[in-house]
Structure 1
Amino acid sequence: MSETYDTGGQTLAETRTDENRTLGGEDVHDTRVRRIIEKVLWVIGLCILAGAAYFFHSHKGPLPGEVDFSRAVQAIHYPSWALAILTFFSTFNDITPSIIEVSVVFVFFLLIRWWKDALFFLLTIGLGNGLNILIADYVVRPRPSGKLIHVYTPLMFNSFPSGHTEHDVVFYGSLLYITFTKAVREWRYHWILIPFQIFAFAAILGIGYSRVLEGEHWLTDVLGGYLSGMLWLYLMISLYRWVTALQRKHQLKKEQKHEETVTAPVQS
């Protein structure tokens, strides 16, 4: 008889005998403490983002030192391969490539019938990008001026927060989270994902630097994009965990009901 697994990759029998462990195999008490700290930090981060948005709505120019920082980044002599990689991170994150990337990953999840992961991935990116656009439309901070620094592609507004940076955080961040879930970690060929995980981390770190290098954003725009992306990503991961816990409870009740039905004739 085949074993029944919960959404975290454990058998239901193992789940019932290990109530002090989460779906990921972590201690329940330690996890609760960590998540309380995470929520406090999330609220602090939200306050910082809201305060920064209000500030840059009223003070649209670069902060002291931002022009010098951008000039210093652009003054560095980069090897051709390093410049190509940094430019690739930005180009690969433009609107058309981004739509193609999201569509390919979403269809892939549907083909392997990872319905919950597909929905989590699509909502995280779609709603996250939408909220970032709303913030940028409220702030309406001008892009860096070509009179102050070198600008690769002249643009006008919506500099804060950086949309490219926020998108990379939610796009690669959601995929990284899925690859580190218990079910994927215990997959026999999980090592195949290591190159992707390295690339994802590099893309998240590199996109912010590349946006400053190309003169598309000030440093605070990039930091705002990172913060905006991380706030939304954490919120969606929390929702993902909550849905997974509900599925676990439902499967446990279903399994218990099945066992009661099977054992009922024996007890009578």
Structure 2
Amino acid sequence: MSKTTDPEGQELMEARAENNTTLGGEDVHDTRVRRIIERVLWFIGLCVLLSSAYFIHLHKGPLPGEVDFSRAVQSIHYWPWLLSVLTFFSTFNDIQPSIIEVSVVFVFFLLIRWWKDAFFFLLSIGLGNGLNILIGDYVVRPRPSPKLIHVYTPLMFNSFPSGHTEHDVVFYGALLYITFTKDVREWRYHWILIPFQIFAFAAILGIGYSRVLEGEHWLSDVLGGYLSGLLWLFLMIFVYRWVTNLQHKHQLKKEGMRQEASSVSI
């Protein structure tokens, strides 16, 4: 019995080879080069984070210039509306609001049957926050002292890296990545997501400044939070892409078996 091929699957493979594009519609060569650069930068970032954590573990006090920087940020006379926006980013990211936000988004993804996106989002947040806690427990850096700068709310949690900053990078970064995937980009009403995307970028940029303004973290804590958040986010995006490719290959294989069975029956 001669073995038949999968016409639809073959067409998809030929189309991709012809167009030289990835599942996301990107050029294959450019994508390979970009991913090599991404991996190199990721490894460099990891080395910087680990080195910084070790250094601050040995020198827990503020670094040179950090006290002056915090005082300069706090000495600025902000417009009332701008001050409200900056403090909102921090308050909106406290433990209870964060749990509610994550739960709402996760349930929403489940309701619309975006299973892969739901678990990608939840794992990114949960494991990212857990990793941040582990780093903080190793460094054990105390929060800024009220004797040095104005502290809005004295906290006892570890200071490095900033948990609020890391959480925002992973939370909004994961959602932003999902909104820029091919299926969502080609959605007829994708423009509806533009206000959210703008807010997400603003929240990521504003949270670090807000934490310094409120005296909750030193500048190095915030930078460490951004770095740890980005490293974890890009690692989870890599996993997301890998799972997506596996699903696509499984779908092609399944379609080929179905076409082969129908050809044999005919």
Shorter-chain TM-score category?
over 0.9
Distance across 1 between alignment mates of 2:262 and 2:23? 27
Distance across 2 between alignment mates of 1:76 and 1:175? 33
Partner of 1:211: 211
Matches within 5 A, 1:53-64: 53-64=53-64
Distance across 1 between alignment mates of 2:89 and 2:23? 34
Partner of 2:111: 111
Query: Would you say 1:198 and 2:198 are equivalent positions?
Result: yes
Q: Residue 69 of structure 1 aligns to a residue in which SS?
A: helix
Partner of 1:51: 51
Distance across 2 between alignment mates of 1:224 and 1:39? 19
Distance across 1 between alignment mates of 2:99 and 2:158? 20
- The alpha-carbon deviation at position 262 of structure 1 amounts to 2.8
TM-score, L = length of structure 1: 0.93
Query: Would you say 1:29 and 2:37 are equivalent positions?
Result: no
Distance across 2 between alignment mates of 1:157 and 1:111? 35
Q: Residue 63 of structure 2 aligns to a residue in which SS?
A: coil
Give, as a single letter, the amino acid of the residue that structure 2 aligns with 1:64.
P
| Deviation sequence 1:140-167 (CA, Å, 0-9, x none) | 1011111111110112341000000000
Distance across 1 between alignment mates of 2:164 and 2:113? 29
Matches within 5 A, 1:174-185: 174-185=174-185
Partner of 2:16: 18
- The alpha-carbon deviation at position 265 of structure 1 amounts to 5.4
Partner of 1:162: 162
Q: Residue 148 of structure 1 aligns to a residue in which SS?
A: coil
Give, as a single letter, the amino acid of the residue that structure 2 aligns with 1:252.
L
- The alpha-carbon deviation at position 260 of structure 1 amounts to 2.3
Distance across 2 between alignment mates of 1:156 and 1:148? 16
Task: Give RMSD over aligned pairs.
Answer: 1.2
Partner of 2:241: 241
Partner of 2:141: 141
**Greater CA drift, 152-161 or 65-74:** 152-161
Give, as a single letter, the amino acid of the residue that structure 2 aligns with 1:89.
F
Among all aligned residue pairs of Structure 1 and Structure 2, give the percentage whose two residues are the same amino acid: 81
Aligned positions, number: 256
Give, as a single letter, the amino acid of the residue that structure 2 aligns with 1:127.
L
Distance across 2 between alignment mates of 1:77 and 1:132? 33
Q: Residue 116 of structure 1 aligns to a residue in which SS?
A: helix
Change (3 A) 1:80 1:28: same
- The alpha-carbon deviation at position 131 of structure 1 amounts to 0.4
| Deviation sequence 1:38-92 (CA, Å, 0-9, x none) | 0011011001000000011110011111011001101111000000000000000
- The alpha-carbon deviation at position 16 of structure 1 amounts to 4.0
| Deviation sequence 1:88-125 (CA, Å, 0-9, x none) | 00000000000000000000000011110000000000
Distance across 1 between alignment mates of 2:160 and 2:264? 64
Q: Residue 206 of structure 1 aligns to a residue in which SS?
A: helix
Distance across 2 between alignment mates of 1:84 and 1:15? 53
Partner of 1:78: 78
Distance across 2 between alignment mates of 1:265 and 1:162? 62
Partner of 2:257: 257
